[in-house]
């Protein structure tokens, strides 16, 4: 009897492992395709009257084990700053006359030969009127664009969610606005109003597949999308997260790191039920041209104290230090991440790192590290050794160069 129970348990475990098996290269390709589709749908609403305030229109996508996929879109797609659209002739004429009068007043207000009647030339009131009219039109246009893009996001989820083929029925697809700059998290404890709300859209994969199979209508599928406005209050105190981020950033400045170093400050956000998501971008060298017999591209590796390397010498060094970089990064995440107390037991630290370019070096271009909060707790309490903890960290190496 015990043997039968053991066999049944092993079969169930085998099925679970099988169901969780992910081809990450395939997943990455499908996420890239999905991002392209989503961006194309959102860009349909762009026109000459819209100024997109975000410096980057990049959409990010990330697969999270036991959760699903999260698409993060720039806030500009749902919070565009609209230039003044075409107005009715009467309103436009009124604005033109007011602006002309103000310009005339500014040019001649100190001219003794020109006399102004106070009630006709109240520049403050006129300026206020112009600003008010424009503000009303701008607000209306922003709302129109926001509503159009909300509908596009919902259609993307039900029409194209099936593109990510490896997700389970119980997984979820989430589209969310990117978080406000991480400095705002720090401000939250002092000035709660600083935190701006973010919209998010969530739908289970089972619902997407039901719609694709014709089991539910489009109207029904759209109604099952959960739309929430998150903020302005994080559910946890993120000060320890920000300290963790600051320490990691400092360790990977060119004067302290012995391997790769950060191109720019990392970005961090917190997602309830998922945890901390840290995005990092690493480089290895500075390039410049040097005139020898011909114009030659040379490299300095500041963290290695190496200068004037040619391309092959630089690539050889970059390839050689990658294993050291990966091991040290995991060790640093464990060492300083164990002091984060705000994470729940079922959450994790998810680190996504873009790796320095090195063609033909057979190193990944993207490294993803998943450290469960429970593992950090075990390490802190001493129930797991450092070597045991390192072996339990989940690692994905994608896009080998």
pLDDT of residue 102: 61
pLDDT band at 53 (very low <50, low <70, confident <90, very high): very low
pLDDT at 43: 80
* Percentage above 90 pLDDT, the chain: 47
Residue 184 has pLDDT above 50, yes or no: no
Q: Mean pLDDT lowest for which of 70-84, 251-265, 266-280, 334-348?
A: 70-84
What is the per-residue pLDDT for 225?
Answer: 96
- What's the length of the chain? 401
* Higher-scoring residue by pLDDT: 166, 47: 166
Q: Looking at the predicted structure, is the pLDDT value of residue 54 above 70?
A: no
Q: What is the mean pLDDT of residues 159-188?
A: 76
Residues 228, 241, 60, 161, CA torsion sign: negative
The CB density around residue 169, as the number of other CB atoms within 10 Å, is: 11
Contact 392, 379 (CB under 8 A): no
- How high is the mean pLDDT of the chain? 79
Adjacent-strand bridge partners of 388: none
* Helical H segments across 44-122, by residue range: 89-108
* pLDDT score recorded for residue 110: 64
Mean pLDDT of 355-368: 92
Predicted local confidence at residue 44, as pLDDT: 74
pLDDT tens, 100-109?
666 665 665 5
More confident call, 274 vs 231: 274
Q: Which residues are 394's β-sheet partners? A: 370
Distance of CA 54 to the CA centre of its chain: 12
What count of other Cβ atoms lies within 10 Å of the Cβ of residue 367? 23
Give the pLDDT band of residue 42 (cuts 50, 70, 90). Answer: confident
Cβ atoms of 130 and 105 closer than 8 Å: no
Residue 237 has pLDDT above 90, yes or no: no
Q: What is the mean pLDDT of residues 7-20?
A: 44
Share of the chain above pLDDT 70, in %: 68
Residue 60 pLDDT level (bands cut at 50, 70, 90): confident
The angle at the Cα of 49, spanning 47 to 53, to the nearest 5 degrees, equals: 90
Is residue 5 within 8 Å of 377, Cβ to Cβ?
no
Q: Given 3-state DSSP classes, what are the helix, strand and coil percentages for the chain, each rounded to the nearest 5?
A: 45, 20, 30
Higher-confidence position of 37 and 123: 37
Cα–Cα distance, 101 to 295 (Å, whole number)? 60
Mean pLDDT of 353-359: 92
**How many whole angstroms separate alpha carbon 278 and alpha carbon 351?**
5
For residue 336, the model assigns a pLDDT of 95
Residue 340's beta-bridge partner residues? none
| pLDDT, position 229 | 81
Residue 255 has pLDDT above 50, yes or no: yes
Which of residues 179 and 330 earns the better pLDDT score? 330
CB 309, CB 299: distance < 8 Å = yes
> What pLDDT is stored for residue 284 in this prediction?
95
Average pLDDT over residues 230-240: 62
- Overall pTM > 0.85: no
């Amino acid at each position: 009897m015990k043997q039968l129970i053991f066999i049944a348990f092993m079969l169930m475990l085998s099925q679970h492992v099988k169901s969780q098996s992910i081809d990450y290269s395939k997943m990455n390709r499908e996420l890239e395709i999905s991002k392209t589709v989503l961006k194309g749908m959102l860009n349909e609403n762009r026109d000459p009257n819209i100024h997109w305030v975000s410096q980057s229109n990049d959409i990010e996508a990330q697969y999270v084990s036991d959760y699903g996929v999260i698409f993060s879109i720039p806030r500009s797609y749902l919070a565009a700053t609209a230039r003044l659209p075409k107005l009715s002739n009467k309103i436009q004429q009124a604005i033109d006359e007011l602006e002309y009068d103000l310009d005339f007043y500014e040019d001649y207000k100190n001219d003794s030969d020109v006399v102004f009647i106070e009630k006709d030339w109240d520049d403050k009131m006129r300026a206020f009127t112009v600003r008010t009219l424009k503000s009303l039109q701008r607000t209306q246009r922003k709302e129109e664009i926001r509503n159009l893009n909300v509908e596009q996001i919902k259609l993307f989820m039900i029409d194209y969610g099936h593109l990510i083929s490896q997700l389970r029925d119980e997984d979820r697809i989430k589209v969310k606005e990117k978080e406000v700059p991480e400095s705002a998290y720090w401000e939250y404890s002092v000035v709660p109003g600083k935190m701006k709300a973010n919209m998010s859209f969530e739908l289970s994969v089972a619902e997407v597949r039901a719609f694709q199979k014709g089991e539910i209508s489009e109207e029904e599928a759209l109604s099952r999308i959960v739309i929430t406005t998150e903020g302005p209050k994080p559910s946890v105190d993120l000060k320890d997260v920000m300290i963790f981020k600051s320490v990691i950033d400092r360790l990977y400045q060119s004067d302290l790191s012995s391997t790769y170093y950060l191109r720019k400050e990392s970005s961090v956000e917190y997602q309830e039920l998922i945890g901390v998501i840290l995005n990092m971008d690493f480089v290895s060298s500075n390039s410049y041209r040097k005139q020898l017999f011909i114009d030659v591209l040379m490299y300095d590796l500041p963290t290695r104290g190496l200068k004037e390397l040619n391309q092959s010498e630089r690539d050889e060094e970059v390839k050689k230090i990658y294993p050291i970089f990966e091991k040290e990064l995991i060790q640093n995440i464990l060492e300083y991440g164990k002091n984060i107390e705000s994470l729940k037991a079922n959450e994790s630290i998810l680190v996504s790192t873009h790796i320095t370019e090195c063609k033909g070096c057979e190193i990944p271009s993207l490294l993803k590290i998943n450290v469960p909060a429970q593992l950090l707790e075990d390490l802190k309490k001493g129930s797991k050794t450092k070597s045991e903890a390192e072996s339990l960290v989940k690692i994905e190496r994608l896009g080998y160069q």
